Amino acid sequence: MAETLLFNALREAIDEEMARDPRVCVMGEDVGQYGGSYKVTKDLYAKYGELRVLDTPIAENSFTGMAVGVAMTGLRPIVEGMNMGFLLLAFNQISNNMGMLPYTSGGNFKIPAVVRGPGGVGRQLGAEHSQRLEAYFHAVPGIKIVAVSTPTNAKGLMKAAIRDNNPVLFFEHVLLYNLSEEIPKGDYTCALTQAELVKEGKDVTILTYSRMRHHCLKAIEQLETENISVELVDLISLKPFDMETVSTSIRKTHRVIIVEECMKTGGIGAELMALIIENCFDDLDSRPIRLSSQDIPTPYNGKLENLTIIQPSQIVEVTRQLVNSLI
């Protein structure tokens, strides 16, 4: 095991896959000599050269379209969005091209592309840099969506995404890059479509992903002092959901809370709740609960920003009320 920061875990994964497979390449704004806005591609330009680590103009639709083209010809591109909010400019290329070409070509083309970058609510980054785009892309057929939450799953999921023959949207959280933990040495991957049972419990299931995993863990520390046993599941795969893990947990606890940084209206939690009602209705002893962000553009003001997203204290209070049958 080796202590590693999350951004370094991602860089290690990309470096190892580029060394393993000469078809893997990186493209995006400042990914080359500068090493990426959050240093995920640091030193890769010097090691692999400008043809495999390509600095692009500020034109997300163009270089994402280029990634589709090189994937069609057999390469395995990794597209970095300097901020995931900017990839709205490439929505057409991701949805109409990446997601659909394997189908509209009758299976003649594969699109083994990874689109990755930082998103989520940071610390006073303003509305346009605090986007959570997972729900925007959730309805697009033909793509996989994952959200990393630890250095260990960041490295394992990145390696798996690069090797996958389908397009993968790879969501990282801007406030988790400096998260540090010991990760396994050597070559390992994590399943792209499997949730992680973070902690076992018996009173209530909490389903979450990305940065909210860590908010939930803080809340669980307090809840354990009150003898409330929480089962925590990190979804990791946002498309498709690992409903087997979700259903197994709900059959055990009979209560469920979804905690997300996504907005409530049309968010990831909304789709997940619909599936829970369809598949687990008879296993529930109380209505499922969603804790989601406010449906407003994220304020720049720090105090207002904190009020728009779920905090550990809110998770504690709602969990306490649900277990005690107050809601």
Q: Is the pLDDT of residue 208 over 90?
A: yes
Choice among 17, 80, 129, 261 that is catalytic: 129
Q: How confident is the model at residue 327 (pLDDT cuts 50, 70, 90)?
A: confident
- Is 60 an annotated catalytic residue? yes
201 and 316 assigned to the same domain: yes
- Is 12 an annotated catalytic residue? no
Domain end point (choices 133, 160, 183): 183
176 and 202 assigned to the same domain: no
Read off the CATH number of the domain in which 252 is found: 3.40.50.920
Q: What is the mean pLDDT of residues 73-79?
A: 97
Domain end point (choices 183, 205, 233): 183
Total domains in the chain come to 2
- List, for residues 219-278, the tens digit of each pLDDT value: 999 999 999 999 999 999 999 999 999 999 999 999 999 999 999 999 999 999 999 999
Indicate whether 279 belongs to any domain. Answer: yes
Which domain covers residue 79, as residue numbers? 2-183
- List, for residues 16-65, the tens digit of each pLDDT value: 999 999 999 999 999 999 999 999 999 999 999 999 999 999 999 999 99
Choice among 12, 17, 29, 60 that is catalytic: 60
Q: What is the 3-state secondary structure (H, E, C) of the chain?
A: CEEEEHHHHHHHHHHHHHHHCCCEEEEECCCCCCCCCCCCCCCHHHHHCCCCEEECCCCHHHHHHHHHHHHHCCCEEEEECCCHHHHHHHHHHHHHHHCCHHHHCCCCCCCCCEEEEEECCCCCCCHHHCCCCHHHHCCCCCCEEEECCCHHHHHHHHHHHHHCCCCEEEEEECCCCCCEEEECCCCCCCCCCCCEEEECCCCEEEEECCCHHHHHHHHHHHHHHCCCCEEEEECCEEECCCHHHHHHHHHHHCCEEEEEEEECCCCHHHHHHHHHHHHHHHHCCCCCEEEEECCCCCCCCHHHHHHHCCCHHHHHHHHHHHHCCCC
Q: How confident is the model at residue 326 (pLDDT cuts 50, 70, 90)?
A: confident
- List, for residues 82-120, the tens digit of each pLDDT value: 888 899 999 999 999 999 999 999 999 999 999 999 999
